[in-house]
Amino acid sequence: MLRYLTAGESHGKAIIAILEGMPAGLRIDSAKINSELKRRQAGFGRGKRMQIEKDSAQVISGLKNNITLGSPVTLLIQNKDASIEKLHKVLCPRPGHADLAGLLKYGFSDIREVLERASARSTAATVAIGAVCKIFLDGFGINVSSRVLSVGGEIDGQAIKGAIKEAIKNKDTLGGIFEVTAKNVPVGLGSYVQPDRRLDGKLAQGVMSIPGIKAVEVGLGFGYAQRLGSETHDAIYYSKDKWFTRESNNAGGIEGGISNGEDIILRACMKPICTLMQPLDSVNILNKKASKAAVERSDTCVVEAAGVVAEAAVNYCLAEAMLEKFGGDNLEDIKRALLYYKKRIKLS
């Protein structure tokens, strides 16, 4: 069973991730992990924090000679800005953020104690974990990628950049839509036998758990609501040389909670960043008087980066599903199990 735990605050000493269940025998290249972390920090519209932090993960357990031992893999990403104890109190919650709900839930008197963990800085851990899972999936030819589809309603690259520039000028923020595609995923990952084992449910949860994501769709998604069944479902064909094939992929590679061998396609909507340089109305949590929401160092647009984080979430979910289906404690055992499975279903 694959599982993970993350820890760390935005301005704490470090971000930490522990990944348990990765089989023994996988060679880990730290440069590949750091390359993914660098991608997370890129994209037009990022803020000043990206100029401070040059994220680099140190693997501090679970490896010997860069090869997994089957024990938990621990990744440490140190923060250069570790000023959590010195930062000012935050008293006016930002609409759209965890500020007010978190404050009331945990009984704090300083929103700082909420936002330090609720911050999207935690996604550095998600990306580090996803990078390890990506290395695992690479060994099976499974590739996950993402692309920006729109920002602020614009779909052209130059128009998107112009919209972001305008938002910066107006001290505002922008959200958008990105797409994640997983290629070469074998048939049979996930299951219909229990709700929590459905692959589309796991993928949706993984992507939806990314801070700022407000909607997720698989394949045609909301487009199903506007068409007849005869216009949407992917007809099935068979030939000896091509096996089972489809001419369309409206299902997005998943039917009945199970991967069907087509590309897995997900799209997600990232809301505009909550921190505004011209803040919205709020209330001071101490005196309950009307005020303006707090202003923290932030970004203008992170849709591209959100896509990178979503890739990581999908990499983790697919690695988990692979281990559930073909699981073993040793990488070679898993590879043999997959080969046997492919031979069996080819005969069906």
Q: Where are the domains of the chain?
A: 3-346
What's phi and psi for 154, nearest 5 deg?
Answer: -90, 145
Comparing C-alpha atoms, which of 307, 304, 309, 315 is closest to residue 183?
Answer: 315
For residue 263, the model assigns a pLDDT of: 98
pLDDT band at 77 (very low <50, low <70, confident <90, very high): very high
Would the pLDDT of 328 be above 60?
Answer: yes
Give the type of residue at 141: G
Q: Which secondary-structure segment (H or E) carries 63?
A: strand 63-64
d(CA 179, CA 230): 25
Q: What is the pTM of this model?
A: 0.95
For residue 327, the model assigns a pLDDT of: 87
Choice among 47-51, 118-122, 315-319 with the minimum mean pLDDT: 47-51
Residue 79 near residue 14, CB atoms below 8 Å: yes
Would the pLDDT of 196 be above 90?
Answer: yes
For residue 315, the model assigns a pLDDT of: 98
Residue 35 near residue 17, CB atoms below 8 Å: no
pLDDT in tens, 204-246: 999 999 999 999 999 999 999 999 999 999 999 999 888 999 9
Residue 213 near residue 270, CB atoms below 8 Å: yes
Would the pLDDT of 46 be above 80?
Answer: no
For residue 50, the model assigns a pLDDT of: 56
- What does the pLDDT average to over 177-198? 97
Say yes or no: domain 3-346 is CATH 3.60.150.10: yes
DSSP letter string, 158-199: HHHHHHHHHHHHTT----EEEEEEEESPPTT-B-SSSGGG-H
Give the type of residue at 135: I
Would the pLDDT of 53 be above 80?
Answer: no
- What does the pLDDT average to over 280-293? 97
Contacts of 200-206 with CB under 8 Å at 24 or more apart are 200/252, 200/254, 200/257, 201/257, 202/317, 202/320, 202/321, 203/254, 203/264, 203/266, 203/313, 203/314, 203/317, 204/266, 206/313, 206/314, 206/316, 206/317
CA triplet 30, 34, 37: central angle to 5 degrees?
A: 145
Between strands 67-68 and 3-7, the pairing is: unpaired
d(CA 261, CA 343): 15
The mean pLDDT value of the chain amounts to 95
d(CA 260, CA 7): 35
Sign of CA dihedral 304, 293, 208, 247: negative
d(CA 102, CA 80): 26
Residue 267 near residue 207, CB atoms below 8 Å: no
Q: Is 332 exposed, middle or buried (0-12, 13-18, 19+ CB in 10 A)?
A: exposed
Q: What percent of the chain has pLDDT over 90?
A: 92
Query: What six digits make up the tokens of 48?
Result: 């000043």
For residue 48, the model assigns a pLDDT of: 64
d(CA 57, CA 71): 18
Would the pLDDT of 51 be above 70?
Answer: no
CA triplet 94, 207, 258: central angle to 5 degrees?
A: 155
- What does the pLDDT average to over 16-32? 97
Would the pLDDT of 49 be above 80?
Answer: no
